[in-house]
C-alpha cells in the first residue's frame, strides 16, 4: 500500500513530509532521512534550537561540531553551524505548517 504525504516543508536543503495515514514525519536533510513520530520531531527541533543558543564563536564556520541525537538509537547528526541553522529553520517551518493545518482542521468541522 502506498502512503500519501502532506508536504510541510520543501527546500534546497531538504524536506519534511507527514504521512496522511499514520502521521509519521519524514525529514530529509543532507544525506540523512529520518522517520519520526510527532513527539520525536518536536524534540529534535528543540535540541537544534538549544544548540543554536549555545553557539561557540571560537570554532571554524566549516567545522562539524554540533551533535544532534535522534530518536533512533545510534543515529546522530553532526552539523556545521550553517547546517544547524538550515536544519532548525526547516524544522521550524514544518512545525508552523503543522500548526496551521491543525487550526484549519478545527474550522473544517464547523
* Least confident span in 49-53, 87-91, 102-106: 102-106
Rounded to two decimals, the pTM is: 0.89
**pLDDT for the residue numbered 105:** 74
Rounded mean pLDDT of 46-74?
89
Give the distance from CA 20 to its chain's centroid.
17
Q: Domain coordinates of the chain in residue numbers?
A: 5-108
Give me the residue label for grid cell 500548526: 99
Q: Indicate the average pLDDT of the chain.
A: 90
DSSP letter (8 states) at residue 70: -
Amino acid at each position: 500500500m502506498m502512503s500519501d504525504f502532506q508536504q510541510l516543508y520543501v527546500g534546497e536543503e531538504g524536506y519534511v513530509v507527514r504521512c496522511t495515514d499514520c502521521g509519521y514525519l519524514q525529514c530529509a536533510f543532507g544525506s540523512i532521512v529520518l522517520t519520526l513520530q510527532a513527539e520525536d520531531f518536536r524534540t529534535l527541533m528543540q535540541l537544534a534550537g538549544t544548540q543554536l543558543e549555545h553557539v561557540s564563536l571560537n570554532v571554524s564556520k566549516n567545522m562539524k561540531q554540533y551533535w544532534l541525537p535522534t530518536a533512533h538509537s545510534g543515529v546522530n547528526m553532526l552539523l556545521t553551524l550553517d547546517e544547524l541553522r538550515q536544519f532548525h529553520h526547516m524544522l521550524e517551518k514544518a512545525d508552523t505548517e503543522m500548526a496551521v493545518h491543525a487550526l484549519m482542521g478545527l474550522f473544517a468541522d464547523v
